[in-house]
């Protein structure tokens, strides 16, 4: 009843091609942005802002990056954490070595460096495909992490390997409280998500999808294979790099190689799969799910402890959590291989007919 597009006529090309052609979607999106930009920082709890919502946004950005490469362009990558690491370390170095570097500029430098590395490690994708490529991107993961650990220049020859990220300033305003850090992250993520959404509706995005669906056919119809694949690697790594810089600067507060181990790559991959490969919305849904799920499990085990009146050993809890997490992923893949984004699509279809389905 509420979600019905009857009577909404599009009379110009611009109207026909807008991102949200349905009025209700536009209103919902505006409301969502309003809540995210105004209500959340005003009324949000400090803990929630700094420990849950901010990392959720950062992971959503990283997932978006991976989604561009794997979900849209079909090149499976396990090197996400490495690209994030490069972004973080290069943003740190940009702040350190270039005087008067604005923080957003440092993020961009981090992203661009990650993109350059992404292009280099994307080169094998011209020759190899599928799981061979996935293993090749693992090479990137291990090599980059090794370099960040061993080459002193990255960490400014710090002896501990753990560096405190610099203070952030935007136009002279200090960004140091959870609320301001959240706002900065949100602004970056929102802009980049918008850019990604538009990019995927463009010729480039369609070329990516053609390569994903069948690369031989794509090259036959004249899509330049090398340029497009490398572009996918570059854009994806740029997103991951910026996400990594945000991860270090506005969530961890430190820059360290240990934050960007292989586990992080897998986490982001899970987010993409659970959210839905090849969907911008899915990146956010998946990131939200994977970020919130351990917290929910934790609360549940606390509740259980109280109900039983005894303390459950820590190892038992963490192992059970791992089992439930793994089982849930398998469950999701079986029940809904196209992810949460597909569930949302089905819901929308149902809503259009509700309450009078034929």
Partner 1 sequence: MTFFIEVVAGGLLAGVMYALVALGFVLIYKASGVFNFAQGSMVFFAALTFVSLLERGWNLWLALAVTLAAMVVLGMLTERIVLRPLINQPPITLFMATIGLTFVLEGLSQLLWGSQPHGLELGIPDVPIEWLSEKANINISQFDLFAALVAGVLVAVLALLFQKTRIGRALRAVADDHQAALAVGIPLQHIWTIVWAVAGFVALVAGVMWGVRNGVQYALTFTALKALPVLILGGFESIAGAIIGGLIIGASEKVAEVYLGPYVGGGIESWFAYVVALLFLLVRPEGLFGEKHIDRV
18: phi > 0 → left, psi -120 to 50 → alpha, else beta; which?
A: beta
Q: Candidates 53, 66, 186, 273: give the one binding partner 1 (CB under 8 A).
A: 273
CB of 141 to partner 1, least distance (A): 8
2, 6, 14, 220: residue in contact with partner 1 (rule CB under 8 A): 220
Which residues have a Cβ under 8 Å from the Cβ of 174 and sit 6 or more positions away? 167, 168, 180
Contact between 329 and 270 (Cβ < 8 Å): yes
310 φ/ψ sector (left φ>0, alpha ψ -120 to 50, else beta): beta
Tokens standing for 8? 């909404």
Count of residues that bind partner 1 according to CB under 8 A: 46
Min dist. Cβ of residue 107 to partner 1 (A): 27
d(CA 251, CA 242): 13
Any contact of residue 76 with partner 1 (CB under 8 A)?
yes
**Which residues neighbour 206 within 8 Å (Cβ) at sequence distance 6 or greater?**
none
Cβ at position 313, least distance to partner 1 in Å: 10
If the CB atoms of residues 87 and 215 are measured against partner 1, the closer one turns out to be 215
Binding mask 117-146 for partner 1 (x = CB under 8 A): -------x--xxxxxx-xxx-xx--xx-xx
Q: Examine residue 328 and tell whether it contacts partner 1 (CB under 8 A).
A: yes
> Minimum Å distance from CB 135 to partner 1?
5
Q: Show the tokens assigned to 185.
A: 């992250």
Q: Does 330 bind partner 1 (CB under 8 A)?
A: yes
Q: What is the DSSP string of 96-134?
A: HHSTT--HHHHHHHHHHHHHHHHHHHHGGGGT--HHHHH
Binding footprint of partner 1 on the chain (CB under 8 A):
76, 124, 127-132, 134-136, 138-139, 142-143, 145-146, 149-150, 214-217, 220, 262, 266, 269-270, 273, 277, 315-316, 319-323, 325-330, 333-334, 337
């Amino acid at each position: 009843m509420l979600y019905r597009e009857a009577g909404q006529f599009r009379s110009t090309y611009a109207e026909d091609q807008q991102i949200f052609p349905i009025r209700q979607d536009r209103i919902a999106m505006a409301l969502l942005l309003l809540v995210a930009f105004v209500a959340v920082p005003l009324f949000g709890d400090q803990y929630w802002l700094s420990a849950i919502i901010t990392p959720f946004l950062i992971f959503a950005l990283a997932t978006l990056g991976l989604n561009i490469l794997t979900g849209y362009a079909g090149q499976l990558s396990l090197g996400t954490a490495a690209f994030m690491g490069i972004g973080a370390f290069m943003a740190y170095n940009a702040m350190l070595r270039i005087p008067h570097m604005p923080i957003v500029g440092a993020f961009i430098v981090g992203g661009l460096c990650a993109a350059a590395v992404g292009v280099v490690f994307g080169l094998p994708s011209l020759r190899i495909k599928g799981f061979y490529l996935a293993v090749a991107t693992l090479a990137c993961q291990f090599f980059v992490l090794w370099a960040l650990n061993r080459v002193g220049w990255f960490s400014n020859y710090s002896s501990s390997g753990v560096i405190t990220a610099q203070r952030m300033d935007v136009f002279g305003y200090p960004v140091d409280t959870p609320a301001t850090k959240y706002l900065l992250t949100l602004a970056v993520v929102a802009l980049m998500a918008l850019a990604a959404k538009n990019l995927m509706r463009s010729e480039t995005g369609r070329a990516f999808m053609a390569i994903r669906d069948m690369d031989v056919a794509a090259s036959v119809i004249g899509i330049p294979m090398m340029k497009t694949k490398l572009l996918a690697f570059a854009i994806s790594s740029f997103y991951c790099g910026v996400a990594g810089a945000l991860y270090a600067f506005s969530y961890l507060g430190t820059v360290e190689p240990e934050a960007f181990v292989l586990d992080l790559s897998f986490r982001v991959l899970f987010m993409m799969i659970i959210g839905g490969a090849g969907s911008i919305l899915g990146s956010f849904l998946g990131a939200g799910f994977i970020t919130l799920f351990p917290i929910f499990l934790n609360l549940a085990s606390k509740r259980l402890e109280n109900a039983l009146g005894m303390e459950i050993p820590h190892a038992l809890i963490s192992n059970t959590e791992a089992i439930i997490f793994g089982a849930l992923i398998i469950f999701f893949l079986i029940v809904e291989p196209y992810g949460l984004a597909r569930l949302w699509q089905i819901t929308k279809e149902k809503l259009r007919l509700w309450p009078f389905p034929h």
